Chains A and B, each alone.
Chain A
Amino acid sequence: MRLETLGFDKVHEYRAGKLDWLAAGLPTEGENNNCPRAGDASRKDPIVCGLKDPVGDVRDRAKAAGWDLAVVVDDDRIVLGMLWSKQLGMDPDLTAEEVMQPGPSTFRPYVPIKEMADHLVEHDHDSVPITTSDGKLVGVLYKSEAVRLAASATACVRKMIT
């Protein structure tokens, strides 16, 4: 780091940097605070279930709450898999573990909504789970909501989906 060579003697480097700060959900300042991010725009009340829950029970809960999906999580709300409408329609006596889509693509809460919307459209995803960097469920972001909010958002210099 160049400051030391310029005579500064109390220089520290936060090498994990801005990405680490954002991933921790800590506040930032700047233009991006004027537009929603994936975490802000996600629905925070998705139906969740455990690995051993019968699909039929999960489907009934999801239907009653107006959801077309459910998120399979562990005791710490770490995302393990997804039950999309297709899986929710399977044999009701099977367990979530037996039918779930394991290891779904997840996205971080700090991703600007414009970038999220572009990604969801490009990859034709109707919805995606939003998680912390250690996999804990934050919510579910629907493409329709991302696209709606992105209409008034500007593209960012730094791409945050890697």
Chain B
Amino acid sequence: MFGRRIGIKVAMLIDRETVQEMLKQGAQLVEVLPAKEYAEDHLPGAVSHPLKLLDQEAGQIGRNRPVIVYCWDSA
């Protein structure tokens, strides 16, 4: 799997191909952009948990499956 661990308690960075592979294996996709942007376009199967609400909504995300978070781009 492509990626690099950049420290303890830090998400592993992955590329598009790895996202696709992980989704086949049952990973969860979480978009952290504002809900309006999620409504316009989101990756297939993604759920919306805007960054500002992530603390409150984290309980809705399964802990037993890998989680992939994304926003607009790397900027």
Please list 27 pairs of residues, one from A and one from B, whose beta carbons are closer than 8 Å in the complex, sorted by A's number.
A1-B10, A3-B61, A3-B67, A12-B14, A12-B27, A12-B69, A13-B68, A13-B69, A14-B69, A14-B70, A15-B74, A16-B15, A16-B74, A17-B72, A18-B33, A18-B71, A18-B72, A19-B72, A24-B16, A26-B43, A27-B44, A29-B41, A29-B45, A30-B39, A30-B42, A32-B41, A157-B37
Count of CB-CB pairs between chains A and B under 8 Å: 124
Say yes or no: A8 contacts B72, CB within 8 Å: no
Say which size band chain A's interface belongs to.
Answer: 20 to 34
Q: Any chain B CB within 8 A of the CB of A68?
A: no
Minimal Cβ-Cβ distance residue in B for A11:
B11
* A75 touches B (CB below 8 Å): no
Size of the B side of the interface (Cβ < 8 Å), in residues, is 44
CB distance from A161 to the nearest CB of B (A): 14
B14 contacts A13, C-beta separation under 8 Å: yes
Say whether B61 contacts A2, CB under 8 Å: no
Min distance, Cβ A153 to any Cβ of chain B, angstroms: 12
- Which chain A residues border B38 with CB–CB below 8 Å? 30
Contact with A along B44-75 (1 / 0, CB 8 A): 11100001001100100101011111111110
Q: Which residues of B contact A20 (CB under 8 A)?
A: 16, 73
Residues of A within 8 A of B30 (CB): 3
